[in-house]
Amino acid sequence: MSKITWIDETSYQRGEERVPKTWFLNLDNIKIYITRHIHYGDTWVLRCDQLGIDILDLETNKLEEAKERGLITINMKLLSLIKTYSNISDMITKEMK
């Protein structure tokens, strides 16, 4: 298994101090963003369009903690979807017998 590598996706203006504000992770086309948002002050938020997460406050201003909370949230969402899809598949399989 490969190591997870976050990429700084911050848009910088020329001459602006380079302080990362947006981190990106692409896991098999699941695009995960840990970013700052103007309406959330100093806290980090999570966004993942593929899993229907628009803006989720991670309730921390510490980057590494935000990344960990973000990955836990993504994992919980994936496990929930797997369970749901498995149940649907079981219902379809039973109906086809």
- For residue range 19-42, list pLDDT tens digits in order: 899 999 999 999 999 999 999 999
At 93 the pLDDT is 94
Q: Is the pTM of this model over 0.75?
A: yes
Contacts of 61 (CB under 8 A, 6+ apart): 42, 43, 44
* Tokens coding 65: 């903690």
Question: Do 58 and 71 contact (CB within 8 A), yes or no?
Answer: no
pLDDT tens by residue, 63-89: 999 999 999 999 999 999 999 999 999
| Strands annotated E in the chain | 7-8, 22-27, 30-36, 44-48, 53-57
